[in-house]
Amino acid sequence: MTENLQRFDDIQVGDQIASLELPPISRHTLALYCGASGDHNPIHVDSDFAKSAGMPDVFAHGMLSMAWLGRLLTNWIPQEAIRSFGVRFVSITQIHDQITCKAEVTEKFTVGNENRVRLALSTCDQQGQIKLSGDAVIALQ
């Protein structure tokens, strides 16, 4: 398996993981995610439909942002170290939003003989408004 470069003993509560900054969300990005994810809800890709549903325009799939948080995690540790990963969809991520994914260590603990850390996760837009909020538990050596 991939070497896990992160060491439990070197990590402190309050440490930040390198954030992930995304380019502004384009219609093309949403069309690609619509096809690749199998989520064909027109509200994310068809602005006529979105307006008829009372929305100002199409908006991003919540699970696209969660996939970006997944990238943030696997940029930091190999995927097989992820024990759990969950989010709440706090507010709508709009088209053209520029999203930043962040993670901070909130807890260090041991289950059986496995060392684990809990990360607080969030995505926010260019104004700092929180879109997704959640956490992940990661096993470390």
Partner 1 sequence: MIDRKFIGHKMPTFSVAVEKGQLCFFAKATGQADPVYTDESAAKAAGHKGLPVPPTFFFCLESASPDKDAFRDLLGLDYRKLLHGEQSFTYHEMAYAGDVLSFEQSVEDIYDKKNGLLEFVVRKTTVTNQLGTHIADLHSVTVSRNG
For partner 1, the binding residues (CB under 8 A) are 1-2, 22, 29, 32-33, 35-39, 53, 62-64, 66-68, 70-71, 73-75, 78-80, 82-89, 134
Task: Give the nearest distance from C-beta 137 to partner 1 in angstroms.
Answer: 9
Task: Give the nearest distance from C-beta 61 to partner 1 in angstroms.
Answer: 9
Which lies closer to partner 1 via its Cβ, residue 81 or residue 124?
Answer: 81
Task: Give the nearest distance from C-beta 90 to partner 1 in angstroms.
Answer: 10
Write down the residue that tokens 């064909």 correspond to. Answer: 40
Sequence-distant (≥ 6) Cβ neighbours of residue 85 within 8 angstroms: 69, 70, 73, 134, 135, 136, 137
Burial class (CB in 10 A: 0-12, 13-18, 19+), 59: middle
